[in-house]
Amino acid sequence: MTISVNGVEAMLPSDPRVSLLDLLREQLGLSGTKKGCDQGACGACTVLVDGERILSCLALAVQYDGRSVTTIEGLGTAECPHPLQSAFIAHDGFQCGYCTPGQICSAMGMIEEVRRGTPSHVTSDITAEVIPFSRDEVRERMSGNLCRCGAHNGIVDAIATLLPEAAE
Ligand code: FES
Ligand code: FES
């Protein structure tokens, strides 16, 4: 059984109790994905699986046989950052940075959810084909990613740079 991580095939663990988070961090050495609460409450461990955001601390690695995982290491590098990574720097979207990889992966998945027309708790018209992207939509959809440094305003500012309609 194998899993693709940032485009590289890796063996899945024989122990079915290993979480996807522990596979990434401890067996594959990808420490960009963070372990905060390890119980699904903080969002620090968010990664993308086939483009969908998931909490890797709540996922068993063997569940993802044959799937494609993208971590923060797969989005950009220091030399060639993803535009969202650059926006976090430009808008002070972090202080300690511990929550940042999860924030960025979550934002990537969230943007695609909106583009597909998936409504949120604050979407006024859930039948609308195109969901207006407001700062409230960003806040609601990022509410599962906590920042103990309180950088949430900068995080919303950074995400809004990729969403002109949410920049107001
Ligand atoms: S470490 Fe997974 S949600 Fe906190
Ligand atoms: S930047 Fe420190 S927890 Fe978010």
CATH of the domain at 91: 1.10.150.120
Best probe residue, ligand 2, of 95, 105, 152 (max atoms within 8 Å of C-beta): 95
pLDDT tens track of the chain, all 168 residues?
999 999 999 999 999 999 999 999 999 999 999 999 999 999 999 999 999 999 999 999 999 999 999 999 999 999 999 999 999 999 999 999 999 999 999 999 999 998 888 999 999 888 888 888 889 999 999 999 999 999 999 999 999 998 867 655
Enclosing domain of residue 28? 2-74
Q: Are 82 and 64 in contact (CB under 8 A)?
A: no
Shared domain check, 136 and 88: yes
Total number of domains constituting the chain: 2
Paired with 111 in beta bridges are none
126: CB partners within 8 A, 6+ apart: 119
Shared domain check, 92 and 147: yes
Shared domain check, 88 and 45: no
Shared domain check, 27 and 57: yes
Residue 134 alpha carbon to ligand 2 centre in Å: 23
Rounded distance, CA 166 to CA 157, Å? Answer: 9
Rounded distance, CA 108 to CA 30, Å? Answer: 19
Shared domain check, 111 and 70: no
Q: Are 94 and 34 in contact (CB under 8 A)?
A: no
Shared domain check, 162 and 135: yes
> Phi first, then psi: what are they for 166, rounded to 5°?
-100, 0
Nearest ligand 1 atom, CA 41: 3
> Phi first, then psi: what are they for 70, rounded to 5°?
-120, 125
